[in-house]
Structure 1
Amino acid sequence: MPGKPEEIKMVSNAMANVPRRKMMAFLAGGERTSEEIGEAVGKSMLDYHLKILEQAGLIEIGDSKIRLSEFGKNFMEGKAEEPKEAVADLSGAKPVEITEVRQLLPCIADSTKFRIIAQMAPPLGGALKPLEPLFPRGRYSERIGALIIQRGDVLITIYGTGNVTMTMIKGEAEARGVLAELREKINEAIAKGVAPAPREKVRVEPMEIYKYLPQTDCGECGEQSCYTFAIRLMAGEVSLDLCKPLRDSKYRQNREHLQVLVEYI
Structure 2
Amino acid sequence: MPGDQNETKLVSFAIANGTRRKIINFLANGSKSTGEIGEIVGKATLDFHLRILQQAGLIKLEEGIVKLSEYGKNFLKNKTEKSEEKTVDFSQAKPIEIARIRQVLPCIADSSRLRVSANMTPSLGGILKLLEPLFPRSNYSDRKDSLIIKKGEIITTIYGSGKVIIRMIKNEDEAKEELERLKSIINEGIAKGEAPAPREKVKVDLMEIYKHLPQTNCGKCGEQGCYSFAIKLMARQASLEKCTLLKEPEYKSNQERLHVLVNYI
* TM category, shorter: 0.7 to 0.9
Q: Distance in 2 between matches of 1:114 and 1:210?
A: 25
1:14 aligns with 2:6: no
Q: Which amino acid aligns with 1:219?
A: G
Contact 1:136 1:201 in 2 (8 A): no
Aligned partner of 2:97 in structure 1 is 97
Contact 2:83 2:198 in 1 (8 A): no
TM-score (norm 1): 0.83
Contact 1:15 1:21 in 2 (8 A): yes
Question: SS where residue 25 of structure 2 aligns?
Answer: helix
Q: Distance in 1 between matches of 2:132 and 2:233?
A: 23
Question: SS where residue 14 of structure 2 aligns?
Answer: helix
Distance change in 2, residues 1:213/1:205 (3 Å): same
Contact 2:83 2:197 in 1 (8 A): no
1:133 aligns with 2:137: no
Contact 2:109 2:256 in 1 (8 A): no
Aligned partner of 2:187 in structure 1 is 187
Q: Greater CA deviation, 64-73 or 81-90? A: 81-90
Distance change in 2, residues 1:32/1:250 (3 Å): closer
Q: Greater CA deviation, 47-56 or 244-253? A: 244-253
User: C-alpha deviations, 1:194-227, integer Å up to 9, x for none?
Assistant: 1111112332234543465455442222345435
Distance change in 2, residues 1:197/1:73 (3 Å): closer
Q: Distance in 1 between matches of 2:227 and 2:173?
A: 34
Contact 2:86 2:196 in 1 (8 A): no
Aligned partner of 1:177 in structure 2 is 177
TM-score (norm 2): 0.83
Kindly state the Cα deviation for residue 233 of structure 1 after the two structures are TM-superposed. Answer: 2.2
Contact 1:109 1:212 in 2 (8 A): no
Distance change in 2, residues 1:210/1:109 (3 Å): farther
Q: Distance in 1 between matches of 2:4 and 2:201?
A: 29
Q: Which amino acid aligns with 1:87?
A: T
5+ residue gaps in structure 1?
none
User: C-alpha deviations, 1:123-172, integer Å up to 9, x for none?
Assistant: 22112111111112211222122211122332211112211012222221
Distance change in 2, residues 1:20/1:156 (3 Å): same
Q: Distance in 1 between matches of 2:95 and 2:5?
A: 45
5+ residue gaps in structure 2?
none
User: C-alpha deviations, 1:15-49, integer Å up to 9, x for none?
Assistant: 22122123223323321122333455565633321
Aligned partner of 1:34 in structure 2 is 34
Q: Trace 1:1-265 onto structure 2 (pairs within 5 A).
A: 1-2=1-2, 5-40=5-40, 45-79=45-79, 87-206=87-206, 208-210=208-210, 212-246=212-246, 255=255, 257-265=257-265
Contact 1:108 1:254 in 2 (8 A): no
Contact 2:17 2:204 in 1 (8 A): no
- Aligned pairs, number: 265
CA RMSD, aligned part only?
3.0
Q: Distance in 1 between matches of 2:104 and 2:214?
A: 23
Q: Greater CA deviation, 223-232 or 60-69? A: 223-232
Identical positions, percent:
57
User: C-alpha deviations, 1:79-130, integer Å up to 9, x for none?
Assistant: 4565865732221122222221144332232211221101112222112111
Distance change in 2, residues 1:44/1:121 (3 Å): farther
Q: Greater CA deviation, 163-172 or 40-49? A: 40-49
